[in-house]
Structure 1
Amino acid sequence: MAVLVTGGAGYIGSHMVWELLDDGEDVVVLDHLSTGYEWAVAPEAVLVEGDVADKDLLARLIGEHDIDAIIHFAGSVVVPESVADPLGYYENNTSKSRTLIESAVRGNVPHFIFSSTAAVYGGTGKEPVSEDMAKDPESPYGRSKLMTEWMLRDTAAAHPLTFTALRYFNVAGADPKARTGQSTPGATHLIKVACETALGKREKMSVFGTDYDTADGTCVRDFIHVSDLVAAHRLALKRLRSGADSIIANCGYGHGYSVLDVIDSVKRLSGVDFKVELAGRRPGDTAAIVANASLARAELGWQPNYDDLDTIVGHALAWETTLGRRNAFTPAPTAAMTV
């Protein structure tokens, strides 16, 4: 048996591959390498370059490698970009996920784990949100992910497929062993952008919105270390294999940090007082969102190991230094960020 990881050459996917291999799993990666890197995939994994909407390729991979679980990361993730290109997001995140789910059913794959998002909730205020809270996504990105959750729920009701959808809050950091990290050129993740700026890869960075109803006026997010996140996926796979029912669960720490909190941490740990410009709000951003992750802790037995902002930032800075030595890309001097 093997696990098929879609988007396994990307940020979270490459961490997932290492997590599975460390746990003794056989892993097949399917990635079209548009934003991922071949070198980011652990050498023990089988890497296949291709699209998750290629039915023939999926059927071959499922059959040849005896796939018993699919962990689906492939997709587009930038909220403002989804507002500008909604049809692209519905194609890449929703339509292609439908094809992948259909291929799982046709290939008799019993388990499916889906990379969902806290963006399905929309603006929620400052209280931790639980899975039964009303879904009111404020962007095509959030809606595209929610639609895929619905497809999985309906498919599991009609076919012998069990699934887990994990709703991520704000993923950050890098592998503590520096084997992989966030490497996408022009990435929009807040901690990534701040680390790049601290290391001189960007001239400056922008803070989008300083008039939100938060303590310092900037957005508040629940930042979760990527290694804790992929550990939750590994535990979700074990749970499904044990015969458990499908669930949807939040993945976050239950407390948030503001944009300015993050910038302060990066400046302090890097020792660099880099340039920060204040700008207006962006479409699709919400003031604050923090997870209630008690379901993941109870059902998966998930116990985070890196619940500390400075730890997350420290690992991100270490990876950014490693990545700089690779000369993997030449970043733009400025860019937007996703928080």
Structure 2
Amino acid sequence: MAILVSGGAGYIGSHMVLELLDRGEKVVVLDNLSTGFWWAVPPEAIFVQGDIGDQALLESVIAEHGIVEIAHFAAKIVVPESVTDPLGYYHNNTVKTRNLLESAVRGGVKHVIFSSTAAVYGEPPVSPVPEEIALNPINPYGRSKLMSEWMLGDVARAHGFTYVALRYFNVAGADPKGRSGQSSPNATHLIKVAGQAALGQRDGLTVFGTDYATPDGTCVRDYIHVTDLARAHLAALDHLRSGGESLTLNCGYGRGYSVNEVVAVVKQVSGVDFPVTYAGRRAGDPASLIARADRIRDELGWRPEHDDLEEIVMQALAWEEKLKTRNAT
């Protein structure tokens, strides 16, 4: 038997694959390489290039490899893009998740770990944000993920499998061993973009919005190291395997940093005072998103090991340097 990782050639999915392989699991990766990279999949994993919307392929993979567990990462994730292309996001994130769930039911899958998002909260009235608060996403990305959460819960109740939906806050950093990181050249992640600016790969950095109701007027986010996040998925998998009930949990540290604070740390760690310009708000960006993160610790026994912004930035910069070498060859 093996665990299927959809989107396992992408940023977060590739880190999950590494963590699974590190503890001796058999892993099958399904990825269409629209944003992922074939070289991000270790040779120890079985790689199938294809789309999660292709149900015939998905059901063939499930049957051939005896898949009973799926970690579902494949998705579009850029908030401003979702505002201009809502149909693309509903198709890719919601319709294709529906297809994946149908194939999982047909194939007898027992457990699903779903990559959700803090964007389901919209503009929350309290901070930190608890899981039980009313959900009110303000962009199509968040709505596409919330619709998928609803489907997952309904299908699990109807067909007897269990799941954990993990609501990510802002994922950042790279594998501490230097094996993977955020590799998309046009990614919109703040730390990624700031790192590229520090290394001279961009002319500078643009900060969108300085008039939010936050201490310095810029957006505040809870940044979680990608390896800590991958290990939260391992804890979720162990929970389900031991007979645990279905759960929906926040993944964050419970502390936020503003855009200006993050930029200052990137400048400090890199030693480069790169140019910063300021522009108006981007569509769909909430002012502040900070996780209330006690439930994941209580339910899964998860404990972060990389809760340090300087470490996150340092490893992100190291990965950018490695990418420069890869892209030059």
Question: Who is 1:218 aligned against?
Answer: 218
Q: Answer whether contact 1:175 1:181 (CA < 8 A) is retained.
A: yes
Alpha-carbon deviations, 1:267-289, whole Å to 9, x = none?
Answer: 00100000110100011001101
C-alpha separation in 2, matches of 1:230 and 1:127: 24
Q: Is the 8 A contact 1:191 1:313 kept in 2?
A: yes
Match of 1:179 in 2: 179
Query: 5 Å matches for 1:79-158?
Result: 79-125=79-125, 127-158=127-158
Residues 86-136 of structure 1, C-alpha deviation per residue, up to 9 Å, x if partnerless? Answer: 000000000000000010000000000000000000012561011100100
- Map Cα deviations across residues 284-312 of structure 1 (whole Å, 9 max, x no partner): 00110100111110111100001111011
TM-score, normalised with respect to structure 1 = 0.96
Offset at residue 328 of structure 1 (A): 6.9
Question: In 2, Cα distance between the equivalents of 1:126 and 1:181?
Answer: 32
- Give the number of equivalent residue pairs: 329
Q: Aligned pair 1:4/2:4, yes or no?
A: yes
Alignment-mate amino acid for residue 314 of structure 1: M
Single out whichever of 82-91 and 55-64 deviates more from structure 2: 55-64
2:185 aligned with 1:188:
no
When residues 47 and 272 of structure 1 are mapped into structure 2, their CA distance, relative to the original with a 3 A threshold, is same
Task: Judge which range, 319-328 or 204-213, deviates more.
Answer: 319-328
1:325 corresponding residue in structure 2: 325
Residue 332 of structure 1 corresponds to which residue in structure 2?
none
Kept in 2: contact 1:3–1:70 (CA 8 A): yes
What are the equivalent positions in structure 2 for 1:189-204 lying under 5 Å apart? 189-204=189-204
Identical residues among aligned pairs (%): 65
Kindly tell me: are residues 241 and 328 of structure 1, through their superposed partners in 2, closer, same or farther at Cα, counting changes over 3 Å?
farther
For the 8 Å contact 1:126–1:288, the answer to whether it is kept is no
Q: Deviations over 1:302-323 (max 9, x none)?
A: 0000111101101101101111
Mapped to 2, the partners of 1:298 and 1:64 lie a distance apart of 37
Q: Per the alignment, do residues 126 and 321 of structure 1 end up closer, same or farther by CA in structure 2, a change over 3 Å counting? A: farther
The match for 1:293 is 293
Distance 1:295 1:285 in 2: 25
**Partner of residue 65, structure 2:** 65
Look up the SS of the partner of 2:265 in the other structure: helix
Please name the residue that 1:30 is paired with.
30
- Paired letter, 2:118: A
**Structural mapping, 1:245-284, within 5 Å:** 245-284=245-284
Distance in 1 separating the partners of 2:328 and 2:102: 36
Cα deviation, residue 27, structure 1: 0.2
CA shift, 1:81, in A, is: 0.3
- Residues 311, 133 of structure 1: CA spacing in aligned structure 2 closer, same or farther, 3 A cutoff? same
Greater Cα shift, 125-134 or 267-276: 125-134
Shift of 1:161: 0.9
Structure 1 counterpart of 2:56: 56
In the alignment, what sits opposite 1:309? 309
User: TM (normalized to structure 2)?
Assistant: 0.99
Quote the offset at 1:52 in angstroms.
0.1
The two structures, once aligned, show a CA RMSD in angstroms of 1.0
Structure 1, residues 53-91: CA drift from partner, whole Å, max 9, x if none?
A: 111111111111111100000010000000000000000
**Per-residue Cα deviation, 1:198-240 (whole angstroms, up to 9, x for no partner):** 0001011100001111111100000000000000000100110
Distance change >3 Å, CA 264–CA 125, structure 1 → 2: farther
Residues 312/205 of structure 1: CA separation in 2 closer, same or farther (3 Å cut):
same
- The one-letter code matched in structure 2 to 1:275 is P
- Alpha-carbon distance, 1:39 to partner: 0.5
Structure 1: 4+ residue segments shifted above 2 A: none
1:234-245 superposed matches below 5 A: 234-245=234-245
Distance 2:126 2:43 in 1: 42
Structure 1: 5+ residue runs without aligned partners?
Answer: 330-339
The answer (yes or no) to whether the contact 1:126–1:289 under 8 Å persists in 2 is: no
Are the equivalent residues in 2 in contact too, given 1:214–1:288 (CA < 8 A)? Answer: yes
Gaps of 5+ in 2: none
Determine whether 1:43 maps to 2:18: no
